[in-house]
Structure 1
Amino acid sequence: MSKTVGDSSMNDANKFTALVVDDNVVIRMIEQMLLNKKGFKTKVVKNGQEAVNIFSEGNSFDVIIMDMEMPIMDGIQATKELRAMGVKCLIFGVTSSESKSDIQSFVEAGLDEYFPKPLDFVKIDNILKHLEK
């Protein structure tokens, strides 16, 4: 790996912010690390209710990485609530579920795009393409 971590090719997204919403601490850490390596400034929360609260407090992000299945408030409900609050940022849903009807409900809740888990650099590059439009 190159030692030029600060150069622009390593940090294409250094102008973007991301909120990672996942109940699994390992997944949160991995997704945060991947996004940070691509230059995103990130914040992590462990359920949809925390994500809704963050936006209720007046915070904003360029993109949300939203898990579908979480306790307290799942990604489907959180996405619906965020959209109802007028949140316009990109919301990318991620899940390990293979249920087509659950995934369809998740997309219909207001996702910009859905990705099967795990998140990886190819998927993050796809997110960057959306942000740079």
Structure 2
Amino acid sequence: MELKAKGFTSIKALLVEDIEVCRLVLSTFLLRLHCEVTLAMNGKEAVDLFLEGKKFDIVLFDKDMPVMTGPEIRAMGETDVKIVGVSADNHAMEAFMSAGADLFVPKPISMEALGPIIQDVINKKMNDMV
């Protein structure tokens, strides 16, 4: 699936995932969807990136990780970023949504599921520029 946005810069995606295979699959999908991908191994690395002043359009966050878990980014006051919880845990959706995630997608995530999410981020970014 190819997403087109005329005169548009790529979407900046932060992937927070501690499992190497999942990181590889999701980052490959994001790259195919023309995203600039930054990887973090845990929630602390993700939070540190925001504290350093890095900005992202979307964050994909696994629930069960070492050091910090869940979407702590929203708690920091970052409201312009779309936070997507991604987990194989059947009970994760409630935890993500109560912690401020915008969306929950069960693992394994597919290109067909990820494509429309990225397109929504592109559309929002383009509307914000107008």
How far apart in 2 are the matches of 1:115 and 1:96? Answer: 9
Q: Which residue of 2 aligns with 1:60?
A: 55
Shift of 1:10: 3.3
How far apart in 2 are the matches of 1:10 and 1:104? Answer: 31
* Letter matched to residue 107 of structure 1: M
Decide whether the 8 Å contact of 2:16 with 2:42 is kept in 1: yes
Matched, 1:36 2:31: yes
Q: Which residue of 1 aligns with 2:112?
A: 122
More relative contact order, 1 or 2 (CA 8 Å, 6+ apart): 2
How far apart in 2 are the matches of 1:30 and 1:97? Answer: 18
**1:129–1:37 Cα change, 3 Å:** closer
Q: Structure 1 regions of 5+ residues with no counterpart?
A: 1-8
Q: Which residue of 2 aligns with 1:98?
A: 90
Shift of 1:21: 0.3
Shift of 1:51: 0.4
Q: Structure 2 regions of 5+ residues with no counterpart?
A: 125-130
Shift of 1:118: 1.5
TM-score (norm 2): 0.84
